[in-house]
Structure 1
């Protein structure tokens, strides 16, 4: 026994660590939004997968742009295994070769076509960008709820429209591109939108904001009357007592899904594919819906008395929702951002 102990004590530290790690549970790193979403997944969604597969899933928090930048920086030796990105940014990730093809699974097969992005990614939650408004202010002024993206140009909202910056927000980009379409433009031609904006929507804008974080405060002080937003975010604000309502534009809202992909060249490809499949399942999406109001992409996800209506409403919104040409957008967006900063937000 003494000889065995003596041999163990003389083993190199690296060998001892390797032996310990061989018996330790593997770790997967999942890149996704921080804050509320991070806590929701850490507390309610991931524990069942971790227990069933004897694995630890560590969330790497950040915006979609942050996560994409981190994965791109380590693309030859990825530090993450699976990532969540807004659908537009996911198209960029796929074009960069950062995503593996999703392996077939029962959960993937259950998703509708609109929830899939090529062969590499799929939505974990569904959403749309439409218009939201300050319900208290609208009632006080006797204004009818907005019905069109062109309402952003209505003079009654002078200095009452809050618009997210095109350069930093998907909401702002959606709002601009829908306005551009109504001016006769398209994802390949934004000249009509840029030409018309300064004389139509521009005079109504009180402030161009970097993200939607300021909207709650600006509604409560009645600075903001109208702004692009998602039904899910409107629900979250209403639960905090903020007087907002969602309005579906007659031209259609814009599809805004949160999608996942398995990161290419990761060192746990089989487990990463297994995690990705789990996150598309009704088992994973049910707690995300009930505890975090994340609208499920898997249509077999059960609903409760509280969540049935929001899920049904989203299905209705998606019937007429506009899907943008993200391959075209991502090619031109840097130039648009530069022009926007130079001519709109100057």
Structure 2
């Protein structure tokens, strides 16, 4: 090989090494969270801020809370994700399984109210409640007043018009059932009243038990669904798509449903993962999530605008009377409830 060719080859090798080194300098973090609207919101409006400031790529792994938990549990000794978002009830399960690192102290963590923290490992990113939602077009056509109680799910007017999420796969469904059970005289330690009363009250009104609330949009637009458990945030997202739905706060109270985050135990980028967790609690992250996606912030320092102020104030009002579930108790018994539900309700 002559001198010119040797120099050219050496320069090419150096260029390749430089490219490899550059690629290694920008690590990738994997964030497990809900897909769809929430995924696009964070990918487009929130995460680029963190990526630019920290020279890192954040890739979203979409899925329901149950999906994300299952994936992390399956690879707990060598996790493929670094941070995960889970519904609060499922986050309690993740913590009990040892899947979350302890949160590192930070100024932004100190801004988050104590009620938005889950033990020492997790913290709410967005605040929410499960209440009732209804097909506003159908209600108007029928002259039905807006629902006011969880027991409206049992109103004979809504026979074959109630859509209910499966207890086994949905926090919304679990919340709705537990509130019905409470009204029947039960509690998280005694669900017998709810299971006993369901077949003669709400059961006859249920058109379909669905695995995911993603089906609700189509079922409302075809007027199959009139009434169903849902959150104000989900209702806002559907309304932005032109789906005729409204939220109704039950007089017995809605149920607290926060989306929480934690840094996954044994991940290979522990410092960056904690840094991402802290960023997602900051007004810098929560402001675009609120402004662009109606995600109610957990950080009270997040600014509001004329567009978002009413939604934040409404959530504050809902939370004043919202019911908090004893998740440690529920998670111990939920497998047995799921089996009974599948056997006696959805059969």
SS at match of 1:180: helix
Distance in 2 (alpha carbons) for counterparts of 1:247 and 1:23: 51
Tell me the equivalent position of 2:185. Answer: 184
Q: After the TM superposition, list the runs of 4 or more consecutive aligned residues in structure 1 that deviate by more than 6 angstroms.
A: 4-9
- C-alpha distance in structure 2 between counterparts of 1:102 and 1:18, whole Å: 35
TM-score, normalised via structure 2 length: 0.93
Pairwise CA distance, 1:6: 11
Q: Residue in 2 aligned with 1:226?
A: 227
The RMSD of aligned alpha carbons is: 2.2
- The alignment partner of 1:331 has SS state of helix
Task: Please tell me whether residue 97 in structure 1 is matched to residue 94 in structure 2.
Answer: no
SS in structure 1 of the partner of residue 298 of structure 2? coil
Counterpart residue number, 2:310? 309
Pair 1:22–1:133, CA change in 2 (3 A): closer
Q: Are 1:330 and 2:331 an aligned pair?
A: yes
Write the deviation string for residues 266-304 of structure 1: whole angstroms up to 9, x where unpaired: 111111111100000000000111111111111111111
Paired position in structure 2 for 1:213: 214
Which residues in structure 2 correspond to 1:67-86 (within 5 Å)?
67-86=68-87
Q: CA shift at 1:135, angstroms?
A: 1.5
1:289 aligns with 290
Q: Kindly state the Cα deviation for residue 24 of structure 1 after the two structures are TM-superposed.
A: 2.1
Q: Kindly provide the CA deviation profile for residues 76-121 of structure 1, in whole angstroms up to 9, marking residues without a partner as x.
A: 1111111111111100000000001111111111111221111100
* Aligned counterpart, 1:53: 54
- Assess if the C-alpha contact under 8 Å between 2:66 and 2:169 holds in 1: no
- Listed one character per residue, the Cα deviations across residues 32-91 of structure 1 (whole Å, up to 9, x for unaligned) are 112221121111101111111111111111111111111111111111111111111100
Other-structure match for 1:147: 148
> C-alpha displacement at 1:233, in angstroms?
1.1
Cα 1:77–1:18 shift into 2, 3 Å = farther
Residue 276 of structure 1 corresponds to: 277
Quote the Cα distance in structure 2 between the aligned partners of 1:223 and 1:54: 48
Give CA deviations for 1:196-222 in whole Å, capped at 9, x if unaligned.
100111111111111112222222222
Q: Distance in 1 between matches of 2:10 and 2:90?
A: 51
99-108 vs 132-141, which moves further: 132-141
Supply the distance in 2 between the matched residues of 1:23 and 1:207 (Cα, whole angstroms).
Answer: 50
Indicate if the aligned counterparts of 2:79 and 2:266 stay in contact, CA closer than 8 A: yes
Give the match's secondary structure for 2:219.
helix
Per-residue deviation, 1:17: 9.6
SS at match of 2:301: coil
Cα separation, 1, equivalents of 2:137 and 2:212: 22
Structure 1 distance, partners of 2:237, 2:23, is 44
Give 1:140 shift: 2.3
Question: Structure 1 residues 157, 275: closer, same or farther in 2, change over 3 A?
Answer: same
Query: Is 1:133–2:151 an aligned residue pair?
Result: no
- 1:245 aligned partner: 246
Aligned length: 342
Q: Name the stretch that deviates more: 167-176 or 237-246.
A: 237-246
Unaligned runs of 5+ in 2: none
